[in-house]
A = this chain, B = another copy of it.
Amino acid sequence: MKEPKKSGGAVKAAPFKVAIAGLGTVGAGVLKVLEKNAAEIAARAGRPIVVTAVAARNRGKDRGVSLDGLAWYDDPVEMARSADADAVVELIGGANGPAKAMVEAALDARRAVVTANKALLAHHGAALAARAESHDAVLAFEAAVAGGIPIVKGLREGLAANRIEQVVGILNGTCNYILTVMRETGRDFDDVLAEAQSLGYAEADPSFDIDGVDAAHKLAILTSLAFGTAVDFAHVHVEGIRHVSAQDIAYADELGYRIKLLAIARRTEAGIEQRVHPCMVSKASPIASVDGVYNAVMVEGDAVGQVAFRGRGAGEGPTASAVVADLIDIAAGRGGTPPFGVPTTAQAALVPAPMGDHFGSYYVRLMVVDKPGVFAAIATALGEENVSMESVLQHGRHPDGPVAVVLTIHETTEGAFMRALERMRTVEGVLDTPRAIRIETV
């Protein structure tokens, strides 16, 4: 019998075939990366990864990549069911509609699914994971959270030895970009948002981003991975950045803080906190210097301590990097892990910590009439809720006119703070609605 000829390292295994639905920026990026880095990818996957089929709405559009030789599907569900593919990539987006239908169809056909769709996973992650497990199919979603940062793998596998205590992330590049430019230029929110839209850093309808919904979707996924609980988007407390003013950013700077939209999942005695809202963080914290479109995730584990990840959270290249990493995992035979790290049958139900039990410090900005007695009434309002001030800031005087007063509040429960805030709002001489921002130690 003849010895098989040594290949000298060339990959001889059968190609791993992929069908892609959605050929926007990310879909085109996946095609480009698979083509450009074909040799490296084949070496790491143990076999070539080739695209065999695509589904999109507009066949004629120029995407900067060749679609020659690929089977074309108008219907992604049809492609998910019948394409000649080992894995199906869902890049359509949206929590329902064709994205959900095609993922379900692919899993039911026992095909591996790779998706970048955080809305889908936030709303239906638990059910889709159970569906994948029952069909022994892979459901992978590295690209759904923090773009090119391998945080899904990091939490699910890299830090798997730990009891996770906390995950804190900057998960929305649009918000982080807007807050960064506001700080650097002193300009106000609406102005910077408009510019971000014209530059393509914010959508025409920016509400998903700036109202914190996108970050909340991603947080719900990270929470499940971190704590072994079923994805529970309904219990994420969400606030966006619309109310963050240039004034707040300037005061934050004066107090030694930066304002960031943080997504926080934390194990507490009352249950698991999931919250997305603007935060003041110390300038000395590493997360404070994560600027522009960068994302970051900091994980606290009982054995490892704090581990931080930073990288680009969106865009063609970073998202394609994550999608293709998932494909390589599956092609290499590493895809057999339950989607959220532990089988859905072993997941604990998430016990949400009531927001009123949250324990933390606060910043409050008030517009008040600069006259005797107003400040005493504010202090009384706080005292009546057993809430105490840590610092007071007032610049200049404006006798009998409006003047801004900034308070920082010692650690207390959110419930007590909110009652104190409501009392302050009704103090005579307090103009406008007081603005509060949570202060976080990260």
Chain A interface (Cβ within 8 Å of chain B)?
Answer: 6-11, 29, 33, 36-37, 40-41, 43-46, 142, 147-150, 153-154, 156-163, 228, 286, 289, 301-312, 317-318, 320-325, 327-329, 332-334, 336-337, 341-343, 345-348
Interchain CB contact under 8 A, A341 and B9:
no
Interchain CB contact under 8 A, B148 and A154:
no
The one of B46, B303, B317, B341 that contacts A321, using a Cβ cutoff of 8 Å? B303
CB distance from A404 to the nearest CB of B (A): 31
The one of B304, B311, B327 that contacts A317, using a Cβ cutoff of 8 Å? B304
The one of B46, B147, B305, B346 that contacts A311, using a Cβ cutoff of 8 Å? B305
Closest B residue to A227 by beta carbon equals B40
The one of B150, B304, B318, B342 that contacts A43, using a Cβ cutoff of 8 Å? B342
Closest B residue to A146 by beta carbon equals B307
A342 to B302, CA, bound (A): 32
Contacts of A153 in B (CB 8 A): 150, 153-154, 157-158
Interchain CB contact under 8 A, B163 and A40:
yes
CB distance from A405 to the nearest CB of B (A): 33
A31 to B149, CA, bound (A): 31
A289 to B40, CA, bound (A): 33
Given contacts A304-B148, A311-B307, contact A158 B154 (CB under 8 A): yes
Interchain CB contact under 8 A, B286 and A310:
yes
Interchain CB contact under 8 A, B157 and A334:
yes
The one of B149, B312, B333 that contacts A336, using a Cβ cutoff of 8 Å? B333
At the interface, is chain A mostly helix, strand, loop or mixed?
Answer: mixed
CB distance from A231 to the nearest CB of B (A): 16
9 interchain residue pairs of minimum CB distance: A150-B158, A161-B324, A9-B346, A148-B304, A307-B311, A304-B321, A303-B321, A43-B342, A303-B317
CB distance from A272 to the nearest CB of B (A): 14
Closest B residue to A41 by beta carbon equals B161
Contacts of A322 in B (CB 8 A): 161, 304
The one of B33, B156, B343 that contacts A303, using a Cβ cutoff of 8 Å? B33
Contacts of A9 in B (CB 8 A): 343, 345-348
Contacts of A44 in B (CB 8 A): 156, 160, 228, 341-342
Contacts of A342 in B (CB 8 A): 43-44
Contacts of A328 in B (CB 8 A): 157, 160-161
Contacts of A156 in B (CB 8 A): 44
A-B contact pairs, 6 of them (CB 8 A): A37-B161, A41-B161, A43-B343, A158-B325, A159-B325, A286-B289
Contacts of A6 in B (CB 8 A): 345
A150 to B308, CA, bound (A): 10
Which of A36, A156, A303 has most B Cβ within 10 Å? A303
The one of B158, B346, B347 that contacts A142, using a Cβ cutoff of 8 Å? B158
Interchain CB contact under 8 A, B325 and A157:
yes
A7 to B337, CA, bound (A): 19
